[in-house]
A and B are shown apart, each in its own frame.
Chain A
Amino acid sequence: ETGVTQTPRHLVMGMTNKKSLKCEQHLGHNAMYWYKQSAKKPLELMFVYSLEERVENNSVPSRFSPECPNSSHLFLHLHTLQPEDSALYLCASSQDRGNRPSGYTFGSGTRLTVV
């Protein structure tokens, strides 16, 4: 498999559930990201991992918890979510070159609905 793979593609969860989103990249990149995409809003950066170290946590509520066990895998653990957390969650990877940003490769996303 190539590129960035996200599972599951769709997820419906109640507000008291705990679930996890999974992302895997097969590109040999050294940086991975979680973004939230809501209708009529820009992509919101949630977390950045570079060389498996979290380098950015963009004021995300603690009900979202990321985990990066190695450079190829990224998880987003979810618990006690709110209906306004319903959105498309996108994982991306890139090759961090220091000074010069590189384009991201995105997965197809997980469509999350909180009921």
Chain B
Amino acid sequence: QKEVEQDPGPLSVPEGAIVSLNCTYSNSAFQYFMWYRQYSRKGPELLMYTYSSGNKEDGRFTAQVDKSSKYISLFIRDSQPSDSATYLCAMSPTGANNLFFGTGTRLTVIP
């Protein structure tokens, strides 16, 4: 079983839609959760960073962590064509500087 599972998509939505991206994980030691966005021909860039369970909001983006279900989500409101990218979830246990990544979900927002 992979440490982190993420549906690779692809996912296509119309402009303005609400997008929901998800990851599940198996290691209960994971405490830190991140979302990265990767545009074509670029490296991933950090989008959201959360610790333990709960919600975090930044503009149109909301990250949710449910540790009891080992499930994390990223919501994008009012999606824009510029949001078209691959979104990778990543997580880490306390005391480690290694990140465990999902495979990434490719998102296309159609104008």
| Chain A positions near chain B (C-beta within 8 angstroms) | 4, 6, 31, 40-43, 45, 48, 50, 55-56, 90, 92, 94, 96, 98-109
Minimum CB distance partner of B45 in chain A: A106
Which residues of chain A are near B41, meaning CB under 8 Å? 108
- Total A-B pairs in contact (CB under 8 Å)? 60
Q: Which residues does chain B contribute within 8 Å of A102, judged by CB atoms?
A: 97
Q: Are B43 and A109 in contact (CB under 8 A)?
A: yes
Among the interface residues A6, A98, A104, which one has the most CB atoms of the partner chain B within 10 A? Answer: A104
Scan B29-57; emit 1 where CB is below 8 A from any A CB, else 0.
00010101000011111100100000000
Contact B42 A104 (CB under 8 A): no
Determine the distance from Cα of A109 to Cα of B103 in the docked complex, in whole angstroms: 17
Knowing A43-B88, A108-B42 are in contact, say whether A99-B94 is a contact too (CB < 8 A): yes
**Given A101-B92, A103-B34, A103-B49: A56 and B98 interface contact (C-beta under 8 Å):** yes
Contacts A42-B2, A43-B88: A101 and B43 contacting too (C-beta < 8 A)?
no
- Given A43-B88, A48-B97, A94-B97: 11 more A-B contacts, CB < 8 Å: A40-B8, A42-B103, A45-B99, A50-B97, A96-B97, A98-B95, A101-B92, A101-B99, A105-B46, A106-B45, A108-B42
Q: How far is the CB of B25 from chain A (nearest CB, A)?
A: 12
B100: CB under 8 A from chain A?
yes
Query: Which chain A positions have C-beta within 8 A of B109?
Result: none
Q: In the complex, what's the smallest C-beta–C-beta distance from A6 to chain B, in angstroms?
A: 8
- Please report the C-alpha to C-alpha distance between residue A98 and residue B109 in the assembled complex, in whole angstroms: 39
| Distance A108 CA – B6 CA, assembled complex (angstroms) | 22
Closest to B91 in A: A101
* A-B pairs with lowest CB-CB distance, top 7: A106-B43, A103-B46, A43-B101, A101-B92, A42-B101, A108-B43, A106-B44
B88 nearest CB neighbor, chain A only: A43
Q: Are A104 and B46 in contact (CB under 8 A)?
A: yes
Q: Are B97 and A101 in contact (CB under 8 A)?
A: yes
The distance in angstroms between the C-alpha atoms of A56 and B100, with both chains bound, is 14
CB<8 Å pairs between A and B, sample of 14 = A40-B103, A41-B103, A42-B4, A42-B103, A43-B44, A55-B97, A92-B43, A99-B94, A99-B95, A101-B98, A101-B99, A102-B97, A104-B44, A108-B43
